[in-house]
Amino acid sequence: MSLLELRDVEVVYQRRDGTLVPAVAGASLDVNAGEIVGLVGETGCGKSSLAKAAVGLVPVASGSITFEGRPVHVLGRRARPVSERRLQLVFQNPYESINPRRTVGAQVADAFAIGRTQARSSWRPRVEDLLRQVGLPATMARRFPHQLSGGQRQRIAIARALAADPAMIVLDEPLSALDASVQAQVANLLVELARNLHVGMLLISHDLAIVRHVAHRTAVMYLGVIVETAPTADLWTAPMHPYTQALIDSIPHADGAGHLPVALPGEIPDPARPPSGCRFHPRCPRVMDRCLSEVPELVAKDGGRRVACWLHEAPGGARRAADGPSVAP
Ligand code: SF4
């Protein structure tokens, strides 16, 4: 049993005009203790909706989500039972979870206090310890959020998440609002926390370069479905799905080797009217006749990979692949 298990999850939104939009159209994914799983894809592919569903912030239309073997309930963050506080969410913008009018120390203490009965005066050493864990001095406890940099605020958001003694943290674009140098520092912090505290992490990002640096395993999402999962190093060096290949080709290389990024052709389609067959077929350079009408399922491959593409059909026909870890975290 994995720490977090998502099975055939569908998330549907309703637009103002009444149109139903399947933002997530049947995604399955596992995350294990101490493992960082990256979830990548273009803006609008459904990865943030899947993250919110994973922590119970939006309802699933079908499928199931379990955390530590129990179903995740759809509740407001403040209404979550203590057991589900072990599943935490960190947002892209730390101001979504930080109160600008309270000191850093008070806010970390607030997060620590929920579900605990000890006297508040006894929490101070724990608050200072949490600040140190995220690479901040204990003196930071007396400051207000507006006195901090973006990177420091995101570290505070992570400290608040850690205050609940989480087994799992879902991070929705946690680095995208930060400068490049600060991104690297916070990315390194996530790797350290996963390793030292054995916390599982689901890292949502549109930035494959960051996920390559941080994640043990990566899942690629396109228009509401997961099209490939693999150990991150394998995905990077030998992507199997044409969309994964295109994503990697679209990344500028910083090494000056002369590699020019290749723009992905076309726009991501409206999820309310997804293309027939393979959802990627209107943009795929290797499209075949059957891709226009037949939906490729995620099938297991050697080395812990899974891919949904008719170019990689399983011998004897497609078979559905349960997701799972392929490398030890
Ligand atoms: Fe391209 Fe067909 Fe594979 Fe889809 S199934 S990615 S259209 S080759």
Distance 252 CA to ligand 1 centre (A): 24
Distance 280 CA to ligand 1 centre (A): 6
Domain 4-86+166-323: homologous superfamily in CATH? P-loop containing nucleotide triphosphate hydrolases (3.40.50.300)
- Break the chain into its structural domains and give their ranges: 4-86+166-323
- Note the pLDDT tens digit of each residue in 134-158: 999 999 999 998 899 888 888 998 9
Per-residue pLDDT of the chain (329 residues; tens, 9 = 90+): 899 999 999 999 999 999 999 999 999 999 999 999 999 998 889 999 999 999 988 999 999 999 999 898 766 555 455 456 789 988 877 766 678 888 999 888 888 776 666 666 677 888 888 999 899 999 999 999 889 988 888 899 899 889 888 999 999 988 887 888 888 888 999 999 999 999 999 999 988 888 999 999 999 999 999 999 999 999 999 999 999 999 988 877 655 554 555 667 788 899 999 999 999 999 999 999 999 999 999 999 999 999 999 999 855 444 444 454 433 34
Closest residue by CA, ligand 1 atom 5: 309
Interatomic CA distance for residues 25 and 14, integer angstroms? 14
Closest CA to 54 of 24, 83, 81: 24
Residue 134 per-residue DSSP state: T
Specify the pTM: 0.88
> Is the CB of residue 281 below 6 angstroms from any atom belonging to ligand 1?
yes
Cα distances (angstroms) measured from residue 123 to each of 111, 135, 207, 248: 11, 19, 37, 46
> Is the CB of residue 242 below 6 angstroms from any atom belonging to ligand 1?
yes
Q: Decide: 240 and 228 in contact? Cβ < 8 Å.
A: yes
Rg (CA), the chain: 20
